[in-house]
Amino acid sequence: MDGNIITSILFATVVAGTPLIIVALGELVVEKSGVLNLGAEGMMSVGAIAAFAVTLHSGNLWLGVGAGMLAGVAMALLFAFVALTLLGNQVATGLALSILGVGLAAFIGKPYESEVLQAVPPIRIPFLADIPVIGEALWNQQSLVYFSWILFWAVLWFLFRSRAGLVLRAVGESPSSAHAIGYPVIRIRYLATLFGGAMAGLGGAFLSVFYTPLWVEGMVAGRGWIAVALVVFATWRPLRVLLGAYLFGGVMVSQLFIQGSGLDINMPSQFLSSLPYWATIIVLVMISRNRNLVRLNAPVSLGQPFKPES
Amino acid sequence: MLRLEPRADASRLMRYLSPLIAVALMLIGGLALFAALGKDPLEGFRVYFLNPLRDLYGLSELLLKATPLMLIAMGLSVGFRANVWNIGAEGQFIMGGVAASAIALYFIESDSGWVLTGMVLAGALGGMAWAAIPAFLRTLFNTNEILTSLMLVYIAQLAVSWLVHGPMIDPDGFGFPQSKMFEDSALLPELLGGTRLNAAFPMALTALGLGYVFLQRSFMGFQMRVAGESEPAARYAGFAARRMIWVGFLAGGALAGIAGMAEVAGPMGQLTTHLSNNYGFAAIIVAFIARLNPVGIFFASLLMALLYLGGEQAQQYLGLPSSISNVFQGLLLLCLLGADVLINYRLRWKPAEAG
Amino acid sequence: MNDAPTARLELRGITKTYPSVVANDRVSLKVMPGEIHAVLGENGAGKSTLMKVIYGVTHPGAGEILWEGERVRIRNPAHARALGIGMVFQHFSLFETLTVVENVALALELSGDLGLLARQIEQVSEKYGLPVDPRRRVHALSVGERQRVEIIRCLLQKPKLLIMDEPTSVLTPGAVQKLFETLRQLAAEGCSILYISHKLDEIQQLCHVATVLRDGRVTGECVPANETPESMARLMIGKALPVPELRPHSPGAPRLQVAGLSRDSDDPFGVELQDIHLDVRAGEIVGIAGVSGNGQKELLLALSGEEPLAERYPIRIDGVEAGRMGPRARRRLGLGFVPEERLGRGAVPSLSLAFNGLLTAHGQGLLRHGLIRFAAMRAFARRCIERFDVRCGGAEAAARSLSGGNLQKFIMGREILQSPGVLIVAQPTWGVDVGAAAFIRQQLIDLAASGTAILVISEELEELFEICDRLMVIAGGRLSPSRRVSETSIEEIGLWMSGLWPGADGQATVERADAAS
C-alpha cells in the first residue's frame, strides 16, 4: 500500500466516523443525565432532510446546518415531553421517535429525491496539512470534522471538570438524591436531551450536506442506532467514543481497504455494506461479556422515569 | 397551570381509554398535518380514513394488510410481556420470507400440497433462526437485545438484496432483482373470489387464539408477566429468566417468519427486495396499542392496516408520499405513550403558586 | 415584653395531604437553640413527611413555619440550607460513583477548588471525630462512613439546625455512642438538632425534649428523662406494647443445615461470604443479627436459591443437598422465604393478591396441565387474607394498594400456608406498624411450635431477643457461633456486631475505619 492510498483510507475513515462522533457524544451526555433516548436514528433522519432542504432552498450551507440542529432539537423536545414530563417508557418513546423521524424524513424528503447539493470544499490548515501521509487526511477536512474534535474536548471538560457536569452526572446517578438536595432534575434532563437532539440533528446534517451530499430515503441507514451502541461500547467514556467511531468509520469504508490491498477479491457489495452492523453486534458482545463492565459504568438511573413529589 | 397529580390507585378505565385518546390525538395531529400541507383537512380525512373502507374489496385489503401485523404483534407481545425487547421482527419477517421462498423455488416443479406446509415450517424456522441470534447473545453474554435484533434487520435487508440479485434471481427476469414467480402449489389459497385475502388470515386468528390462552391462562404466560412487571420478584419466585428470553424471541421469530412466508406466498407471489412494508416495526406499535392483549391486537392491527391503506390512497388522490403512513404510525405510538400517564396520574388545574 | 429566647424553629399547624392519606395533621412544635429535640413516632406516623416540609423538599398544604421568629416559606432544599438547615437522610442522598469531596461539593453549591474543600472536610472530620477520606468513592465506603459523609456535608454549611432521620438504624451500638458524642458537642456549640427516631432508649439517652406523633398528629410532648419507655410507648402507639407468648425451647432434628458456605459476591460492592456454618432445628427460631451490609443480602440470596451455589453440599434442607438448586426446587423441598423487600420482590406491585399468591404457591394445586386454575387461585388468596387478618380490598386488590404491614401479613401467610419445613424471614417487621408486628411475631412463634425450623435475619436486636431461641451475628461476611438467648445479652451481641466474637479474626466492615482512627 503506498502513502496515497493510506492517506485516502484515513481521510475516508475520519469522514465516516465524524457523524458517529457527533451523535454519540450527544447521546453520551443525554445518557449521563439518566435518560435513554433511543430516538437518535429518527432525530438524525429529520436533521438530515431539514438541513438538506434548507441548504437547497437558501443556498446557505450554515442556514441548513442550523435547520438540521433545530429539527433535531424539536424531535428531542417531543421525546422529552413524552418521556420526562409524561413519564412514558423511555425505550418505547425512543423507538417511537425513531419510527416517526424516519417516516417524517421520508415524507418530507420525497420531492428532494433526485436533488444534489454542491460539494463543500474542505478547509486546509496550513503547515499541519503538509505533514506526510496523515496531514492531508486529518488537516484538510470539512469544518465539522474539526468541530467534532472540539466537541470531544468540550464534552470531556464539561463532564469531568465543570460543576455543571458534576451536577449532570449526579442527576444520572440518583435523581432522587439530586432532587433531595435541591437540583431541578427534570429541567437538567430536558437540557441534556435537547443537546442530544441538536447533536443528532447536526450529525444528520453532516450526512446530507457534507458527506454525500444528496438526499436518499433511508440514507441514515442505522447510523443513529450504531451511535447508541457506540455509547455502550465506549462504556460512557468520551475518548472511547472517539476511538470507537473511527473504528466504525474504518469498517464503513472497508471497500477502500480491499481496493487498496490490491487483491482481487470478488465480494458481493451487500456483504461489505453489512459489515458495520456485524461489527456493532460483535463489539456489543465483547463489551457485555464482562457483566460488571457495563453495570459499573452505566449511569445508575439510566432509562428509569423520575417524578419529583410535590 | 395544569399539574399531574398521582392517583392512589392505577385507573383501570384509563388503561382502556388511553389508546382511544391516543387515536383521537393522532387524528387531530393528522388533520393539522393535512391543513399545514394546504389540503382540506376534511377531504384528507375522507380520503385517508374512509376511502379504503368503502367496498368489499377495500375491506378485504384491510384484512390482508392486518394479517401480518396480527401475526407479528402476537409473537412480539409474548416477549414484550417479559420485557424481552425484540425490535428486530422486521428482519425475522424477511428471513421467514426468504426461507419459505427457498422451499417454493426448490420444489417449483412439484404440485404437492406439502409444498405450502413446508413453506410455513420453513418460514417459522427462518424467523426463529434469525431471532435466535439475539436470544443467544443475550442469554450467553448479556448483550443488549434491542441493538442486536435491530442490527440484524439491516443485515437481513442486505441479505435478501444479495439473494435476489444473485443466487435466487429469476434467470428470465431481464436482470430485475426478483425471484421467479411461485407456482400455484406454493401460493396460499384465496378466501374470497376477486380479492387477495388468503388463508393466512385464519392462521393469524388461530395465532391470536393460542396467544390468548398462553398469555392469559397459562402458568408460563404468568411467569413472563411477572418477569416483565418486576424482575426481582421473578427471580425470587424462581422463574427462569433465560427460558423467558428464549420463549419470547422464538415466539416472535416464528410468527414473524410465518408472516413473511404469508407475504411471499400471498400478495407477492415471489421474493423481492420490497418484501416487507415496515410490518415488523408497525407491529411493535400494534403490540403497544393493544397492551399486549390478543383481542386488542386484532383491533389495533385493523387500525394500523387502515393507516397503510390510507397512505396509499393519499398518494393516489392527494399526491402525498405514501410514507405519510409511517408518520401517522410514529405519531400514534408517541400519543399513546404520552396518554398513558393518565393511568397513574390525573390532570388537575392548579393556580400557579405564588412566591 | 417577652424576654423568653426566640425559638430557632417553630411549626404552627402544619398539614400535608397526599391523595390517599393525611400525612401531617395540624402539627406544631418548637425547637430552641442548642436543643436536641426528638420527633418520636412509629413508621408511617408522618415524621419523614414533616422533615421534608422543614427541608423544603415538599410544601405543606396549610400551616406556617417560623425561622428564628420570622415567618418563612421554604421553597426548596437550597433555600433551607441558605437559612441554616442541614439534613442527614435515612436513606442516604449520596451519589455512589462520585467521590466524597464531589458529593460534598454538590450539596454546597460552590464551584472551584475541590482540593481546598477536601482539606476543609478533613478539618471538620477531625474536629467532630468523624474520620473519612475525602478522595474515596462513596460506593467503597461502609454504611457508617457514608453517614459521616452526610453529617460532614451538613456541618460544612455551619447549620443552625441539623435534622437527623433515623440515624442509628445503620450503626452498631458502639458507633451509636460515638454519634451521640458528636451530636452533644454540636448542641453545646448552639446548634439545634431535630432527632427523628422510633427507638425509645436512644431518645431517653440523648434528647432534651420529645414531640410524639401518631397518625400524623401530635399526641404529646415530654421530657424523655422524666418518662419511662412504657409511658413514651403509650404516647407513641396509643396502648401498651404487646408481648408475644413464648413457648419452651425443645428443638428436634436439624432441618436447615449450612456447612462451609463460602462465595464471592457477584456484586462488585457486595460482601464475600466466608465459611458460614449454621443449623436450624425443627421447632426452633434462630436469629441472625448484624449491621446491614455485612453479608445478610448475600447470605439470603444463597439460602433462597436466587443465586444458587456452584456446589451441592453446603446447603441441606431436611437432609437433601440443595446448594445448586434454584428457588423452585428448594421450595419443593419445603423451603419458604419472606424477603426484606416486599413490593417488587416478595410481591409484584401491579398484580392482584390472587396472582401474588400464585407467585410461590403454585404447587398448592393451583395449576392443571400448565394452565392456571383461577378459582383455586382466588380461593387460596382468600384463605390467606382471612387467616392472616390482611386488611385489603379482597383477592383482586393490587399488592401495591396494601399498607406495608398488611402486605407483609399476606406474604408471610402465603409462605406459611404452604406448611414449610424451613422458613427464612428477612426483616419480618421492618416498617410495619406495632399491631401487625406483634401479630407477625406471634405467627412465627406458632409456626415454630408446629415443627418448622425458622431462620430470622433482622437488624432490630429487640425483636430478635423477643422471638428467637438462639442468636448469631453476621459481620464482614462471617457468622459468629450461636448463643442461647437466655445466656447472652444485648451488650454481648452488640459487641459481636463489630466482628469481635471469641475466636473471630474478622471485623465488621462498619468498624474498619473506626478501628483505624
Average pLDDT over residues C231-237: 79
Residue C412 has which C-alpha cell?
408471610
- Measured distance CA(B49)–CA(A273) in Å, rounded: 39
Q: Rg of the Cα trace of chain A?
A: 20
Average pLDDT over residues C369-378: 94
As to burial, measured by CB atoms within 10 angstroms (0-12 exposed, 13-18 middle, 19+ buried), residue C374 is middle
Average pLDDT over residues C411-428: 95
In a domain, A134, yes or no: no
In 3D space, the residue among B302, B343, B253, B317 whose CA is nearest the CA of residue B64 turns out to be: B302
Task: Using DSSP, state whether B40 is helix, strand or coil.
Answer: coil
pTM value? Answer: 0.89
pLDDT for residue C510: 43
Average pLDDT over residues C17-31: 83
As to burial, measured by CB atoms within 10 angstroms (0-12 exposed, 13-18 middle, 19+ buried), residue A296 is middle
C479 or A121, higher pLDDT: C479
Q: Are residue C262 and residue C123 in the same domain, yes or no? A: no
Residue C427 has which C-alpha cell?
426483616
Residue with cell 413514651: C232
Nearest CB to C76; choose among A174, A182, A300? A182
Q: Rounded to the nearest 5°, which phi and psi values hold at C409? A: -65, -40
Tell me if chain A has a CB within 8 Å of the CB of C76.
Answer: yes
Distances (CA, A) of B16 to B104, B267, C118, C340, C401: 43, 34, 55, 34, 20
Tell me if chain C has a CB within 8 Å of the CB of A179.
Answer: yes
pLDDT for residue C508: 45
In a domain, C246, yes or no: no
Per-residue confidence band for A192, with pLDDT thresholds at 50, 70 and 90:
very high
Where among C383, C400, C419 does a domain terminate?
C419
In a domain, A94, yes or no: yes
Residue in chain A closest to C74 (alpha carbons) equals: A182
Q: What is chain C's mean pLDDT, rounded?
A: 86
Per-residue confidence band for C515, with pLDDT thresholds at 50, 70 and 90:
very low
Examine the pLDDT at A3 and tell me if it is beyond 70: yes
Residue in chain A closest to B159 (alpha carbons) equals: A270
Examine the pLDDT at A223 and tell me if it is beyond 60: yes
Examine the pLDDT at C175 and tell me if it is beyond 90: no
Residue C285: CATH number of its domain: 3.40.50.300
Q: Rounded to the nearest 5°, which phi and psi values hold at C93? A: -100, 45
At A47-88, the pLDDT tens digits run 999 999 999 999 899 999 999 999 999 999 999 999 999 998
Determine contact, residues C61/C17, Cβ cutoff 8 Å.
yes
As to burial, measured by CB atoms within 10 angstroms (0-12 exposed, 13-18 middle, 19+ buried), residue B167 is exposed
In a domain, A207, yes or no: yes
C242 or B70, higher pLDDT: B70
pLDDT for residue A270: 87
Examine the pLDDT at A28 and tell me if it is beyond 50: yes
> Which residue range forms the structural domain that includes residue C29?
9-237
- Measured distance CA(A28)–CA(A169) in Å, rounded: 11
Average pLDDT over residues B245-265: 96
User: Which H/E stretch holds residue B329?
Assistant: helix B324-339
As to burial, measured by CB atoms within 10 angstroms (0-12 exposed, 13-18 middle, 19+ buried), residue B185 is middle
A14's CB contacts (< 8 A; 6+ apart) are A137, A138, A141, A145, A246, A249
Residue A276 has which C-alpha cell?
458495520
> Which amino acid is it at B139?
T
Q: Are residue C109 and residue C177 in the same domain, yes or no? A: yes
3-state helix, strand, coil in chain A (%, to 5): 75, 0, 25
Average pLDDT over residues C470-495: 88
Examine the pLDDT at A144 and tell me if it is beyond 80: yes
Determine contact, residues C334/C420, Cβ cutoff 8 Å.
yes
Which own/partner contact pairs does B160-169 have at CB distance under 8 Å and 24+ positions apart? B160/B94, B160/B97, B160/B98, B160/B271, B160/B273, B160/B275, B161/A270, B161/B273, B162/A268, B162/A270, B162/A271, B163/B98, B163/B271, B164/B271, B164/B272, B164/B273, B165/A268, B165/A270, B166/A268, B168/B101, B168/B102, B168/B105, B168/B271
Where among C419, C437, C455 does a domain terminate?
C419
- Measured distance CA(C36)–CA(C34) in Å, rounded: 7
Identify residues of B whose CB sits under 8 angstroms from chain C CBs.
Answer: 5-10, 213, 217-220, 222, 225-226, 229-230, 232-233, 235-240, 353, 355
Residue A30: CATH number of its domain: 1.10.3470
Pick the residue of C106, C138, C157, C163 with the most A CBs within 10 A to test the interface with A by mutation.
Answer: C106
Q: What is chain A's mean pLDDT, rounded?
A: 90
C252: region left, alpha or beta (phi > 0 left; psi from -120 to 50 alpha): beta
In a domain, A309, yes or no: no
Contact C77 A166 (CB under 8 A): no
pLDDT for residue A253: 87
Examine the pLDDT at B110 and tell me if it is beyond 60: yes
Task: Using DSSP, state whether B325 is helix, strand or coil.
Answer: helix
At B56-95, the pLDDT tens digits run 999 999 999 999 999 999 999 999 999 999 999 999 999 9
- Measured distance CA(B223)–CA(B240) in Å, rounded: 9
Interface predicted TM-score (ipTM): 0.91
At C54-91, the pLDDT tens digits run 998 888 989 999 999 999 999 888 889 889 999 887 66
Q: Rg of the Cα trace of chain C?
A: 24
Task: Using DSSP, state whether C425 is helix, strand or coil.
Answer: strand
Q: How far is B252 from chain C (nearest CA, A)?
A: 21
pLDDT for residue C461: 81
Nearest CB to B144; choose among A78, A110, A232? A232
Of chain C, the percentage scoring pLDDT greater than 90 comes to 45
| DSSP per position, C177-207 | HHHHHHHHHHHHTT-EEEEEES-HHHHHHH-
Average pLDDT over residues B22-42: 90
- Measured distance CA(C78)–CA(C342) in Å, rounded: 34
Q: Are residue C169 and residue C303 in the same domain, yes or no? A: no
Instruction: Domain ranges for chain B, please list them.
Output: 2-349
- Measured distance CA(C72)–CA(C82) in Å, rounded: 12
Residue with cell 405519531: B331
Where among C393, C419, C445 does a domain terminate?
C419
Bridge-based pairing state of the strands C315-317 and C254-263: antiparallel
> Which amino acid is it at C497?
M
A275 or A256, higher pLDDT: A275
The domain tally of chain C equals 3
Residue A264 has which C-alpha cell?
482481487
Per-residue confidence band for C509, with pLDDT thresholds at 50, 70 and 90:
very low
Residue in chain C closest to B9 (alpha carbons) equals: C401
Examine the pLDDT at C167 and tell me if it is beyond 90: no
Q: How far is C455 from chain B (nearest CA, A)?
A: 17
Contact C371 B213 (CB under 8 A): yes
At C248-293, the pLDDT tens digits run 667 889 999 999 999 887 776 778 999 999 999 999 999 999 887 7
Which residues of chain A does B330 touch, with a Cβ-Cβ cutoff of 8 Å? Answer: 42, 96-104
Examine the pLDDT at C218 and tell me if it is beyond 50: yes
Distances (CA, A) of C384 to C353, C415, C446: 10, 10, 16
B319 or C333, higher pLDDT: C333
Per-residue confidence band for C422, with pLDDT thresholds at 50, 70 and 90:
very high
Task: Using DSSP, state whether B159 is helix, strand or coil.
Answer: helix
In a domain, A69, yes or no: yes
Q: Rounded to the nearest 5°, which phi and psi values hold at B5? A: -120, 130
Architecture label for domain B2-349: Orthogonal Bundle (1.10)
In a domain, C312, yes or no: yes
User: Which H/E stretch holds residue C435?
Assistant: helix C434-449
Q: Are residue C66 and residue C211 in the same domain, yes or no? A: yes
pLDDT for residue C78: 83
Q: Are residue C85 and residue C200 in the same domain, yes or no? A: yes
Average pLDDT over residues A269-282: 91
The domain tally of chain A equals 1
As to burial, measured by CB atoms within 10 angstroms (0-12 exposed, 13-18 middle, 19+ buried), residue A267 is exposed
Residue A131's CB is within 10 A of a number of other CB atoms, namely 12
In a domain, A105, yes or no: yes
Examine the pLDDT at A284 and tell me if it is beyond 70: yes
Task: Using DSSP, state whether A307 is helix, strand or coil.
Answer: coil
pLDDT for residue C516: 36
Q: How far is A205 from chain B (nearest CA, A)?
A: 20
pLDDT for residue C243: 58
Contact A300 C77 (CB under 8 A): no
Average pLDDT over residues B165-170: 88
| Angle, in degrees to the nearest 10, between helices B114-141 and B89-106 | 140
In a domain, A45, yes or no: yes
- Measured distance CA(B276)–CA(A51) in Å, rounded: 29
Identify residues of C whose CB sits under 8 angstroms from chain B CBs.
Answer: 19-20, 59, 73, 75, 304-306, 326-331, 337, 339, 341, 344-351, 355, 358-360, 362, 367, 370-372, 398, 401
Beta bridge partners of B346: B5
Per-residue confidence band for C517, with pLDDT thresholds at 50, 70 and 90:
very low
Per-residue confidence band for B306, with pLDDT thresholds at 50, 70 and 90:
very high
Of chain C, the percentage scoring pLDDT greater than 70 comes to 92
Burial B54-70 (b: 16+ CB within 10 A, else e): eeeebbbbbbbbbbbbb
Which of A41-50, B72-81, C478-487 is predicted with the least confidence, judged by mean pLDDT?
Answer: C478-487
Q: Are residue C425 and residue C415 in the same domain, yes or no? A: no
User: Which H/E stretch holds residue C85?
Assistant: strand C85-88
Residue C321 has which C-alpha cell?
443437598
Q: Rounded to the nearest 5°, which phi and psi values hold at C119? A: -65, -40
Q: What is the distance between the terminal CA atoms of chain C, rounded to a whole angstrom? A: 51
Examine the pLDDT at C313 and tell me if it is beyond 80: yes
* Residue ranges of B 231-290 with Cβ closer than 8 A to chain A: 281, 284-285, 288
pLDDT for residue C242: 55
Q: Are residue C68 and residue C149 in the same domain, yes or no? A: yes
In 3D space, the residue among C221, C236, C179 whose CA is nearest the CA of residue C202 turns out to be: C179
Determine contact, residues B287/B223, Cβ cutoff 8 Å.
no
- Measured distance CA(B215)–CA(B221) in Å, rounded: 4
Tell me if chain A has a CB within 8 Å of the CB of C2.
Answer: no
Contact A181 C106 (CB under 8 A): yes
Q: Are residue C395 and residue C472 in the same domain, yes or no? A: no
Determine contact, residues A150/A242, Cβ cutoff 8 Å.
no
Per-residue confidence band for B264, with pLDDT thresholds at 50, 70 and 90:
very high
Q: Are residue C359 and residue C504 in the same domain, yes or no? A: no
> Which residue range forms the structural domain that includes residue A31?
3-117+146-297
Q: Are residue C204 and residue C260 in the same domain, yes or no? A: no
C100 or C166, higher pLDDT: C100
Determine contact, residues C436/C408, Cβ cutoff 8 Å.
yes
In a domain, A136, yes or no: no
